[in-house]
Amino acid sequence: MKRALLSVSDKNGLVVFAQGLLARGFSLVSTGGTKRALDAAGLAVTAVEDVTGFPEMLDGRVKTLHPLIHAGILAKRDDPAHMAALAEHQITPIDLICVNLYPFAETIQKPNVTRAEAIEQIDIGGPSALRAAAKNSDSVWAVVDPADYDRVLVGLDENDAALRQSLAAKVFAVTAAYDAQIAAYLNPEPFPALYTPTYRKLKDLRYGENSHQQAAFYAAPGAPKSSLVNAVQLHGKAMSYNNIRDADAALSMLNEYRDPAVVAVKHMNPCGIGVADTIEAAWDKAYAADSTSIFGGIIALNRTVDLATAEKMHALFLEIVMAPAFEPDALAVLSKKKNLRVMTIQLAQPAAATVEATPVRGGVLLQTTDAAIEGPDDVKVVTKVAPTPEQLSALLFGQQVVKHVKSNAIVVVRDGQTLGIGAGQMNRIGSVEIALKQAQTNANFAGAVLASDAFFPMADCVDYAAKHGIRAIIQPGGSIRDQDSIDAADKYGIAMVVTGVRHFRH
């Protein structure tokens, strides 16, 4: 008779799977809670301690770690010496291992979990048994995922060797990911000597950045609730690769704001941001910021979407609308467009600094996210004229926007509204020209101020800004030619403040 060892933390599908094994001539061996579940279902099952002659001990830390178990798993069935050794020691071969691991990742996500509680969810015997079975997958079935139970039963009927090999590979992937999560928990250093990220595939995508590229979407274990992987799509067609990247950028921008805010994104750059007393007013500002570029854009809102705001968005072609919630009649209006993706998201309050990775050929770059937010006390007035309170508020708003714009980045704003954005130019004056050309078409341009992600290496940007109506500028400073820009600002009566914080975004 074939023997199967079952020891699972996730009991979903367990009884039906065990019944299938019994029907196929297996005897069952089990541990602790798994055995109790099988006993309750009236199935014939032998306790591990009856096989080993040694009781479970140390509060369950030692159960399957025994030669009578591991020799039964690891013996090569086609090696006479191995089989003779089993016979000599009266060890029965084990032909199938079904184990899923202690819920370590789920445990450490719980609020106020202690280190001691987390440590107890580090599985030792489970990974050992699974890895032994996977190593001997020419003869032994290694089952780690309840989602595989049905196809394992079919594979047993067909003696599907290819499936056994596939399951073995999955075991090593699962245990590697499990160990990586534990290592990250025990060593929270953001830049460890060994960087071992692990991700779970959420879905395959139709294609990547372009139609000839393949792509898939993965989630990190324990991803924060405020991340895009935990968004819920309520309506519309499937998200594409570019949709996901744009939506993630929009969510990062949205997390900057506590007041009602609307962010419109195209190609990972903001094309309009509005902050106001109500979400409808914020939408009006974001739309008016660039009513041309918003076409086909991604819209993120940090308040529940009401009917009036939904009706205004419905009048446009948009790719995605995402918000914490939607009033039922607002959702009904947006859902009239069958392809519009409507999603609920959770926001970070405030945006938390994390570590982000950027792949390079043969490696990866890690850095902490740019979570810096400058306030009134973080700026230094360097000109003869100081900004008015209204100008300073606008400058700080522009500084929040500029950190999410591709460098070289220039943002022209006024009263909680972007008016013009110059992004990704090879020289800073080019970005200034683009931002001001767009801003001057806006009815709210009078009194606009300008924000720069990095210092001005020359005074030409200040000269151009002054000639086109800018009366206040915020920039990090730090150039060896800072004084040239300060002198130019003084010449034109412009207020300039520096922050000492650069917000490059490559």
Catalytic residues: 135, 267
Q: Contact at 8 Å (CB) between 402 and 496?
A: no
* Residue listed under structure tokens 């139970």: 149
3-state secondary structure at position 325: coil
Burial of residue 377, with CB atoms counted within 10 A of its CB: 0-12 exposed, 13-18 middle, 19 or more buried: exposed
3-state secondary structure at position 216: strand
Cα separation, 459 vs 476, whole angstroms: 15
DSSP string, 429-471: HHHHHHHHHHHTTSTT-TT-EEEESS--SSTHHHHHHHHTT--
DSSP string, 145-179: -GGGHHHHHHHHHHT-HHHHHHHHHHHHHHHHHHH
Cα separation, 289 vs 397, whole angstroms: 14
Beta bridge partners, 269, equal 266
Q: Rg of the chain over CA atoms, in angstroms? A: 30
| 205: enclosing H helix or E strand | strand 200-205
Closest listed residue to residue 499, CA positions, set 365, 356, 370: 370
Cα separation, 465 vs 198, whole angstroms: 47
Close Cβ partners of 214 (under 8 Å, ≥ 6 residues apart): 207, 208
Cα separation, 278 vs 303, whole angstroms: 9
Burial of residue 344, with CB atoms counted within 10 A of its CB: 0-12 exposed, 13-18 middle, 19 or more buried: middle
Q: Contact at 8 Å (CB) between 450 and 412?
A: yes
Close Cβ partners of 166 (under 8 Å, ≥ 6 residues apart): none
DSSP string, 332-353: HHHTTSTT-EEEE----SSPPP
Close Cβ partners of 503 (under 8 Å, ≥ 6 residues apart): 370, 372, 399, 402, 403, 409, 453, 454, 476
